[in-house]
Structure 1
């Protein structure tokens, strides 16, 4: 029986970051992971492989649309999907091996196997018991499914199966217009699939700024994605050569069908907590199946912590990482903290979509007086030279104090540009602070400055 200061159950972004930070703070640490490699869903079958596929498909699209205009001529490239999957897997392997190296560097023990609680301060890993003063639950989430839709990861797939398809489907039906569905839907649309997205609500990307939702859907339609909105999927019927998706219009109850070769179920994710022995040791759960924690991510059982997708909040890898850092610091006696008001979200389509802080809808609901500074990428020289002039930057600031309350970007490099706003919000910046900060020319980031200027006397290039 091995004894540790901290045992982390789960080697995803939240778990491995927590384990490394604990070790850096002088705590004897182990991390339990039963998957064949570290990194969790994110590095193995989520964030990283999907970004590789997005990158490859975007370059393929560029070669077919803009290369000749830029003076790059030659035979149009074709898709070799098996080679694309090899490239994707090499990206995954490089990243997961990197985490393994970081464990060795920081002297974190990787306990290979599946862990479960075996009493106070005890964790069992495939029959072997280990002791720890603190146990951290960071087991992540799994794809949520629908009644009447039986996933086989071959023709009816979650994101995991969608990243392993052996050929580009002629017709792809995507159930759910959230981040996963739109990212993977756009990959296969660029590779030649006829993509139809079926969404239960009347808007895509639920919870995002309303203006961004409308603009984003319009852009995706131009790229060839079809949308069926306000529709509840009833089931998927399997035949030898095709699949039939049955759905009902939410408002009229009218039933319709859609033929597809592959169906991607992208209806969200749910906490992965089964088999952990949480109930046996008295860990309280919420009605939504999440582990209940206090303001510092401690559970109802002393010495047991939880973070990431198994607790409340957005299911984002970077949110889990922040929580992993905070838990490690709390265990070490420091003041670990996560500012949940400044957690950015990004959709890695082309164009990218990024947001942080409040939406206009939220500010209106709160009755808060605010002002809007908006700048279109059409006024940005770098964006125009890259054929990426669609979209805009929108900054929301308090009407009286000018303090930045949120930002919403749809356009090139949005996922990187948003962090200027994040840093500003962490320091309580006013829109004028961003407007008076010199930005290099020509860069996409000038659009952020122009939006900040628009919160005051006005943008220069609009």
Structure 2
């Protein structure tokens, strides 16, 4: 009998460590213990951002004031990535020394009982953090070779000469940036006519311009009906009956929650496992955090959620999380996009980065920052298109947590020359 069983070894491990350190008897179940740390560490944000970092070095080397040009060696990058992940995995495993790590596929069929490797384990509390998987639309014949998902990209030791990418979410846009700046001919296929259609129209326009500037060819309003591997390459047929051949197709059509392990009728599942604002499911003392609850597919959100749940189990009565305050970002090149909070405020302050000389040698002249306030002058959100936008958005995230108004925000003096001073300028326009 355990106090808590954590199902899934992604960011769930953070909660397991805290619970064990606080004297709870804890088990963490992961179907492949070599994947402890989850998708983010092994097949997601850690390796992908590493790939983008080195692709950006290649892009910077093309400056007209530099002589010569860098070339990305995928074999060296692959080995560097592998070493980084292994070191992180060992560190996480060591931190879990007081947690019972159990390898195998868990099944939750009835309350408080987990079936694993032919045994039944019981716990007062169950925390599910089973993550998500790549979604491949019907008609696309995924084969891991020339019709791939992001998992295969991060295992590449040689770049293709050409690639098509289907999807304009975070994965599609980041991979388009990576391949294009690394010297690959990229065709980005968009089912609709807009990129980041929830963002400010000014940002939509500039992101499209940026992608085209680094060499990405964008096909708008091109839904894929079928994609099959042939001797001539991947044959893609579109909904308008046109077709193309391409050596490699990367499917980046989003991710879906992993919920197949769950057959307990007391726990409701819709797009993900249904939870309340404390991440408790429709069955008391059973929780779902991270991608599997269908709220936010972000590693930092999953970590915050599991720590919030663990503190609640420990009786510390934490405040409920406001997921609107979680920074969301897409690490495209050379400028990233980040958003935090609400973007439908009563008033907005818009500042183009072209006003700052600092932007001229940082490939950011087309960037911009937008801050939003409500009708009482309180900051409610921001959108940023700039190098390392995700770092800058954290400033606004703290403003939201501190319930600051524009008048308070103006009291902070930001450094010069930095991009943060452009954010400061948006506060003066509110």
Tell me the TM-score range normalised by the shorter chain.
Answer: over 0.9
Distance in 2 separating the partners of 1:380 and 1:22: 48
Give 4+ residue runs of structure 1 displaced > 4 Å after superposition. Answer: none
Q: 2:58 aligns with which of 60, 63, 77?
A: 60
Q: 1:237 aligns with which of 203, 220, 228?
A: 228
In the alignment, which residue of structure 2 is the partner of 1:352? 336
Deviation digits for residues 306-352 of structure 1, max 9, x if unmatched?
11111131211111111101111121123232112211101011211
In the alignment, which residue of structure 2 is the partner of 1:78? 71
Q: How far did 1:431 drift?
A: 1.9
Q: 2:28 aligns with which of 21, 27, 31?
A: 31
Gaps of 5+ in 2: none
In the alignment, which residue of structure 2 is the partner of 1:366? none
Q: How far did 1:355 drift?
A: 0.3
In the alignment, which residue of structure 2 is the partner of 1:410? 385
In the alignment, which residue of structure 2 is the partner of 1:115? 106
Deviation digits for residues 78-123 of structure 1, max 9, x if unmatched?
232111211222222222222212222xx22222222222543222
Superposition map of 1:184-333 within 5 A = 184-248=175-239, 254-274=240-260, 276=261, 278-280=262-264, 282-286=266-270, 288=271, 290-333=272-315
Question: Is 1:194–1:224's contact at 8 Å kept on the other side of the alignment?
Answer: yes
Gaps of 5+ in 1: 249-253, 364-369, 456-462
Q: Which moved more, 1:326-335 or 1:93-102?
A: 93-102
How many matched pairs?
427
Distance in 2 separating the partners of 1:428 and 1:77: 46
Cα distance change, pair 210–18 in 1 and its aligned pair in 2 (3 A) = farther
Corresponding residue SS for 2:360: helix
Could you state the TM-score of these two structures normalised by the residue count of structure 1?
Answer: 0.88
Distance in 1 separating the partners of 2:361 and 2:60: 13
Distance in 1 separating the partners of 2:398 and 2:273: 30
Tell whether 2:45 aligns with 1:47.
yes
Tell whether 2:149 aligns with 1:174.
no
Corresponding residue SS for 2:204: helix
Distance in 2 separating the partners of 1:32 and 1:424: 37
Tell whether 2:384 aligns with 1:427.
no
Distance in 2 separating the partners of 1:152 and 1:96: 28
Distance in 1 separating the partners of 2:419 and 2:177: 23
Distance in 1 separating the partners of 2:136 and 2:245: 20
Distance in 1 separating the partners of 2:142 and 2:384: 34
In the alignment, which residue of structure 1 is the partner of 2:131? 140
Superposition map of 1:332-351 within 5 A = 332-336=314-318, 337-350=320-333, 351=335
Deviation digits for residues 363-411 of structure 1, max 9, x if unmatched?
5xxxxxx12111122233433343433301110112x321111100001
Q: Which moved more, 1:118-127 or 1:46-55?
A: 118-127
Q: 2:17 aligns with which of 17, 20, 23?
A: 20
Deviation digits for residues 406-455 of structure 1, max 9, x if unmatched?
10000112010001000001111112222221112222211110111122
Question: Is 2:232–2:245's contact at 8 Å kept on the other side of the alignment?
Answer: no
C-alpha RMSD of matched pairs (Å):
1.8
Deviation digits for residues 117-143 of structure 1, max 9, x if unmatched?
254322232223322111111000001
Distance in 2 separating the partners of 1:211 and 1:415: 18
Deviation digits for residues 124-169 of structure 1, max 9, x if unmatched?
3222332211111100000111111111111101110122234211
Q: How far did 1:206 drift?
A: 4.1
In the alignment, which residue of structure 2 is the partner of 1:102? 95
Distance in 1 separating the partners of 2:277 and 2:49: 33
Question: Is 2:166–2:189's contact at 8 Å kept on the other side of the alignment?
Answer: yes
Question: Is 1:178–1:206's contact at 8 Å kept on the other side of the alignment?
Answer: no
Question: Is 1:346–1:354's contact at 8 Å kept on the other side of the alignment?
Answer: yes
Q: How far did 1:258 drift?
A: 2.1
Cα distance change, pair 385–438 in 1 and its aligned pair in 2 (3 A) = same
Tell whether 2:330 aligns with 1:378.
no
Distance in 1 separating the partners of 2:356 and 2:317: 42
Distance in 2 separating the partners of 1:25 and 1:228: 54
Distance in 2 separating the partners of 1:120 and 1:373: 51
Q: How far did 1:222 drift?
A: 0.8
Question: Is 1:154–1:165's contact at 8 Å kept on the other side of the alignment?
Answer: no
Corresponding residue SS for 1:388: coil
Question: Is 1:52–1:91's contact at 8 Å kept on the other side of the alignment?
Answer: no
